[in-house]
Homo-oligomer: A and B are copies of this chain.
Amino acid sequence: MGAKIPILFVFIIMLFALSSAHPSKRKQYTPCKNLVLYFHDIIYNGDNAVNATSSIVAAPQGANLTKLATQFHFGNIAVFDDPITLDNNLHSKTIGRAQGFYIYDTKNTYTSWLGFTFVLNSTYHQGTITFAGADPIMQKSRDISVTGGTGDFFMHRGIATIMTDAFEGEVYFRLRVDIKFFECW
């Protein structure tokens, strides 16, 4: 009998191991999936219609649609369809598009609110990742939420850490997006 109980324990341990391996969603503080991507935004300023990837479409009273508003751009909404690349080169191969909008929403500093989707279409990734959140632009790195995904990112959730990788006048900026999924399916 003394020999049989250890076998039982092994069986119990095995059941627990199976039990914890079974959930397809893994909850843990190290990401279950990680992607670092860049996207590039060229704002329409009245002269760059061919290259522009985003456009101001709403502005507060007194402002226009070819120049960001004076008070830290407060009240501007821009719509974008920006190329996504694997590195920080605007001319690298595009692996998808970042589509959505940003709002400048503060009067005394540069802050925006982001609602957008990465539409990925490459040999590596097929699917979408949707983001939402506040972006306090002047901070070196800031976190927004990954609220959903489809395709390869079916039902995923997570956090994206954004850094401004380049900022050239009021025409071009490039964001580095470190996407950390903590719910994978």
Is A157 part of the binding interface, using a Cβ–Cβ cutoff of 8 Å? yes
Number of copies of this chain that the complex holds: 3
- The contact size tier of chain A is 35 or more
Chain B positions within 8 Å of A65 at CB level: 60-61
What are 25 contact pairs spanning A and B, CB under 8 A? A15-B16, A16-B19, A23-B27, A24-B29, A27-B185, A56-B60, A57-B75, A58-B58, A60-B65, A60-B79, A61-B64, A61-B66, A75-B79, A79-B104, A117-B132, A117-B133, A119-B134, A128-B134, A128-B143, A130-B145, A132-B132, A132-B148, A133-B150, A146-B148, A150-B159
Residue of B nearest to A104 (CB): B79
